[in-house]
Amino acid sequence: WKLRKTVEGRLLISWIAMLWLLTAIHLIEGLQDIPVLSLLSYTLYSMGLHAFHIPLAALSALWLSPATGLNSLDSKRGLLSINWDPTTNEKFARILTASVLVAIIIANIITIQIAQHDELRPVTDGDLEIREAIENLPENSIIYTENNHWGYVFDLPNGLETTSIPSLGLLKIDETIHPLATSAIKHDNITRISQLGIDYAISSPIGTIGWSLAESRYWSIIEDFDGSRLWQFNPSGNSQQSTLAPVNESSCSENCEMRLDPWRENRYENIGQMNQDYRAFVEEGKNTIVDFDLSRTVFVNSNSCLFFESIGNIDDFTVKVGSQQSTIKQTDSGWHTHCFSLNETLTQITMEITWHESASSSTWINPSGFSGRGDRILDTTGIRLHWLEIDV
């Protein structure tokens, strides 16, 4: 507040105010049509908060500095004058500086902890593996990719094209085949897919297009990394099909909790009876039994895959379906699949989840709780169950 009476302070305040006003250009009808203003708005949008960091840092430095020699607007200017030092109270400045340093240390500790939680990332390790696998595709191939964080391929090899790219900042897209391709894949419109020239598709377990591809007889899996898949279009229609079974919400009771899915607002469709906003969460070390809703009978020897997320690095646990059981070894945080073969014909799947005796959950600070994407800040490790995929 004291700095408003100095030349330097007013310059910095005016700088910040002008930046703030530029952020409103896209909200005012007509201003976007002015090329210079539109360009400035897009540039500022691309920079994000970084545009404000420099003037705010300079303003804070002037305020906290014990000797600045600023030019007061009220006093006369002289060649040998010391000028004015509108500094803050020394004790307050020391307390504030110490508080900032403590906050920085705490923030770094939290950051190190969060770095162990890959489930927070908008891409999976499998997605990154798939992006390397597409380097071996034929030149001039068109790949269907979801129009979302996990679908964008930023370092696309030469000669390959994708149906989606991020439309942020200075980039403006006039025409795209993505909506037509999405509709064609969901409705098994092989004529339209062929017309669009789409040869391959990429799906991430975080997204939704993988559900349509798995249920279709026109797409074959050629690469699979923990649920992240590279598919090839098969117009002959003899590919392996699957049925998808979400967790029965009412069966998630003892030691099981339906919790908000952080990516719920980025998905635009659902599987059958699946709750679009919630997923079953089982805390590490707590045994439970859950049912999966089947839309059709599944037969003996059918290959089944459980899609789940490890919330943090977790210990061994066992899944049991009927008389068959298998152990999932210690897994790192993030998305995983566990596949097994059914040993009987079923109309409903009941899965018993049992943890190793030494397994116990640990507490961590979940940043999605601060933003509202998650449902709590102090969280525990465990597994988030999504769906079962069974070959038919």
pLDDT given at position 341? 92
pLDDT above 90: percentage of residues in the chain: 58
- Tell me the CB-side half-sphere exposure of residue 20, using CA atoms within 13 A: 8
Mean pLDDT of the chain: 87
186 touches 193 (CB < 8 A): no
SS3 at position 131: helix
Q: Which residue has the higher pLDDT, 171 or 6?
A: 6
Does the pLDDT value for residue 222 go beyond 90? yes
Amino acid at 279: R
- Number of Cβ atoms within 10 Å of the Cβ of 85: 15
Q: What are phi and psi of 245, to 5 degrees?
A: -125, 110
pLDDT given at position 197? 94
pLDDT digits (tens, 9 = 90+) for 355-380: 988 889 999 999 999 888 899 999 99
Does the pLDDT value for residue 185 go beyond 70? yes
| Domains of the chain, residue spans | 7-75+85-118, 122-239, 244-391
pLDDT given at position 69? 63
Strands 228-233 and 198-203: antiparallel
pLDDT given at position 389? 96
* Residue with the two structure tokens 């999605």: 368
No. of helices (H) and no. of strands (E), the chain: 9, 17
List CB contacts of 81: < 8 A, sequence separation 6 or more.
75
SS3 at position 220: strand
Amino acid at 153: V
Residue of 256, 204, 200 lying closest to 228 (CA atoms) = 204
Does the pLDDT value for residue 221 go beyond 50? yes
Report how far residue 83's alpha carbon sits from residue 69's, in angstroms, rounded to the nearest whole number. 5
pLDDT digits (tens, 9 = 90+) for 296-307: 999 999 999 999
Report how far residue 249's alpha carbon sits from residue 261's, in angstroms, rounded to the nearest whole number. 14
Residues in the chain: 392
List CB contacts of 337: < 8 A, sequence separation 6 or more.
205, 226, 227, 305, 306, 307, 308
pTM of the model: 0.80
Strands 198-203 and 142-144: parallel
pLDDT digits (tens, 9 = 90+) for 234-277: 999 999 999 999 999 999 989 999 999 999 998 888 888 898 89
pLDDT digits (tens, 9 = 90+) for 38-86: 777 777 766 666 677 778 788 777 777 766 666 666 655 543 344 555 5
pLDDT given at position 79? 39
User: Which of 81-85, 142-146, 321-325 is the most confident on average?
Assistant: 142-146
Does the pLDDT value for residue 26 go beyond 80? no
pLDDT given at position 78? 45
Q: How far apart are the first and last CA of the chain?
A: 70
Query: Is the CATH number of domain 244-391 2.60.120?
Result: yes
pLDDT class of 386 with cuts at 50, 70, 90: very high
- Tell me the CB-side half-sphere exposure of residue 239, using CA atoms within 13 A: 20
Report how far residue 26's alpha carbon sits from residue 42's, in angstroms, rounded to the nearest whole number. 9
Four-residue CA torsion sign, 289, 292, 293, 296: negative
Four-residue CA torsion sign, 108, 112, 113, 118: positive
Residue of 263, 245, 231 lying closest to 124 (CA atoms) = 263
pLDDT digits (tens, 9 = 90+) for 288-298: 999 999 999 99
